[in-house]
Structure formats: C-alpha cells, structure tokens
C-alpha cells in the first residue's frame, strides 16, 4: 500500500509539474534569484535537544488532547482549534502553548493518504498565491494558514509576545504541519518586525514539503534565519512539490516559477537516534544542496516520513509523548516489510 502510494506521488510530481520555457532556462543562473546563504544568517547552531523539544509539540498536534506532551515539557495549553483545510473537509489541527522560555505554535501534519494526494495535486495545478512577506507560495498551504489566522492565532501570538516580551517563539510541525509552521513564522515575523526579532523566532520542522518559490525562500531566510528543516533519510515529502532540475539534476529557480526550499536542511542519511550522523546542508544550490537528500531521488519513499528522531510522530503524540521507541520501531519495520516485493 505505502509502496504504491510512493510510486503514485513520484508520478504525479513529474507529470503535473509545468514544463520549463526558454525564458525559464535563460533565468536559471540569474543571480537575482539566488538568496543569501543561510550559513551567514542563523544566530545559533543546530541543536539536537531543541529539535527533540520541538518534536514533542509537533507530535502533540496529532492528538485531540496535547496536554500530556505539553506537561512533559512544562508547557501550558493556551488554545487549540480544528479548522477545515480544503474542499474535501480535511481539518487542520493547531495549538498555541507557553512555557517559561517559549511561546509555541504547532500544527498537525497530513493525516490521510487522500489529504496528501489532494495537497500535491492542488499545489501543483492551482496558481501560487502572493505572500505578504515576499514571493509566492502554494495555494493549498496559504489557504490553510489563512484559516488558522482567521481563527485568531495571529492575534493570539501577538498578545502573548506583548505579555511575555522575553519569550522566544517556536513554530513547528510535521509534514503539512511543517509547511504551515513555515508560513506562520514568516507571517508573524513580517507583521511584527520590531516585536519578533530574528534571534527570537525559531522554525523547526520535520518532513516539510516545499512551500513556495525562491523569492519566498529568500524572504523567509532573511526574517526567520533560525530555521531547521529536518529530513529523515529518503523521506519523499520534502521533495514535493517537485522542483525544476537542470541537466545536472540540481534544483533551480526556474525563473521563480518552480517550488524551492528555504533554509536550512538538516539531513540524517540513515536513522535518527542520538548517535546518528547528520549533515547541515549549505552547499550549492543554496537551500537545495545537491549533495544531501536531493541526491538520492531513486530511493525516495513514504515510510521514512512517518518516523523522526527515532519516534513515530503520530504515535508519539497520541500516546502522550511517552517513550514509544519500541512501538514505533515495530510499526516502522512492519510497514517497511510491506513494501518489499
């Protein structure tokens, strides 16, 4: 089942992507479309402990009752909502929580295979939408963010930051939740530039798809420099919607039409245990490092999307962020074996 879904996603990604024009090719190496390296931007280095902290909140977004995960991290739930995401009535679940040091915004990831396919098809067929902070973004993601902002999250985050000015802001999510967290962090930083200083806003996502074009990526890197996109081995979702590649199979700007990641990928090429190796991906193309996960496109699969930092993300959240490593490992290998011929 999961193998068939992986094949379908790859097929749709290639089949629906708009073929490049001559103007696209002429602009591939236009310097005006290249953002500054995030290596010169971030104010702190990647921190595994902070990523584990963020994962608990990203996982908690999958639960109708996120309070056990929040209590584990000495955080309090401020507000939680469920709002429609799309025309097939899929819901976006999101919450805001607060700890002594952090104000946290977390969004649930894709819950069903149908929702994942809907995201992919709509993202690649519907025109992008202009984003206030800069560039253009996938219509599905921006429409979902607008639903959350209309539910009062933008105003709530502002009020909390005013009340707790020394608190840092953490935006997080897995899968679709990562895409919405990316947009939310950019939107908040853009709307409140004096309140949300670059060294106070953090984005940590897990298996995040491409959100917008290269101009959005450049704008995001400027106002939310402390952004870490974790990618587990051959997870296919971070490579969707599909980018336009040059003759050397490197993602390019595609005259600002093609989807393009913002910074900064943290790639775990194998497993994601405490002792696992990882790579901070800052080589060229900027934000689409061809030597990291992009290089292994023939191995992309959906199974690696389910588990991050040694935990089944959905299961981790719905069981209260307890130590579910054995259960997650059992489920992971069970699903992996189903994909074998």
Q: What angle do CA 139, 141, 147 make, to 5 degrees?
A: 100
* Residues in contact with 197: Cβ distance below 8 Å, sequence separation at least 6, in sequence order: none
User: Is 235 designated active site?
Assistant: yes
Token look-up 């934000």 returns 287
Instruction: Spot the catalytic one: 305, 312, 314, 316.
Output: 305
Q: What are phi and psi of 18, to 5 degrees?
A: -65, 125
Element (H, E) at 129: strand 129-130
Selection from 26, 30, 18, 12 nearest residue 116 by Cα: 12
Active site residue 89: no
Q: Taking every pair of C-alpha atoms in the chain, what is the biggest distance, in angstroms?
A: 57
Q: Beta-strand (E) ranges in 4-128?
A: 76-84, 91-98, 102-107
Nearest 5°: phi and psi at 143?
-60, -40
Q: If residue 205 lies in a helix (H) or strand (E), which one and from where to where? A: strand 201-206
Instruction: Please give the sequence-ordered ranges of beta strands (E in DSSP) within 261-339, or none if there are none.
Output: 265-268, 279-281, 307-308, 311-312
Active site residue 45: no
Out of 56, 235, 289, 314, pick the active-site residue: 235
Catalytic site residue from 175, 182, 186, 233: 175
* Residue owning tokens 């900064």: 264
Q: Give catalytic residue positions.
A: 175, 235, 305
């Amino acid at each position: 089942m999961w193998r068939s879904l992986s094949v379908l996603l790859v097929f749709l990604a290639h089949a629906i992507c708009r073929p490049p024009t001559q103007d696209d090719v002429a602009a591939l190496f236009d310097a005006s479309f290249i953002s500054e390296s995030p290596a010169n931007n971030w104010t702190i280095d990647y921190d595994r402990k902070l990523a584990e902290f963020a994962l608990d909140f990203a996982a908690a977004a999958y639960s109708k009752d996120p309070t056990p995960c929040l209590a584990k991290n000495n955080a309090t739930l401020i507000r939680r909502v469920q709002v429609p995401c799309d025309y097939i009535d899929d819901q976006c679940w999101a919450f805001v929580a607060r700890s002594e040091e952090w104000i946290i915004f977390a969004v649930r990831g894709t819950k069903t295979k149908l929702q994942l396919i809907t995201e992919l098809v709509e993202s690649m067929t519907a025109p992008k939408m202009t984003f206030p902070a800069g560039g253009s973004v996938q219509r599905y993601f921006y429409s979902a963010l607008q639903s959350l902002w209309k539910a009062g999250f933008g105003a709530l985050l502002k009020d909390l930051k005013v009340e707790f000015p020394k608190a840092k802001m953490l935006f997080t999510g897995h899968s679709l939740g990562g895409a919405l967290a990316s947009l939310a962090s950019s939107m908040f930083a853009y709307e409140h530039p004096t309140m949300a200083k670059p060294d106070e806003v953090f984005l940590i996502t897990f298996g995040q798809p491409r959100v917008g074009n290269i101009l959005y990526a450049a704008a995001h890197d400027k106002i939310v420099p402390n952004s870490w996109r974790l990618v587990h081995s051959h997870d296919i979702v971070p490579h969707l919607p599909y980018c336009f590649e040059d003759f050397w199979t490197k993602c390019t700007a595609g005259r600002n039409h093609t989807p393009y990641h913002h910074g900064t990928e943290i790639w775990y090429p194998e497993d994601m245990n405490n002792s696992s190796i990882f790579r901070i991906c800052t080589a060229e193309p900027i934000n689409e490092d061809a030597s990291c996960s992009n290089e292994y496109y023939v191995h992309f699969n959906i199974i690696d999307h389910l588990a991050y930092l040694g935990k089944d993300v959905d299961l981790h959240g719905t069981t209260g962020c307890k130590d579910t490593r054995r259960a997650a490992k059992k489920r992971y290998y069970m699903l992996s074996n189903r994909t074998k011929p």
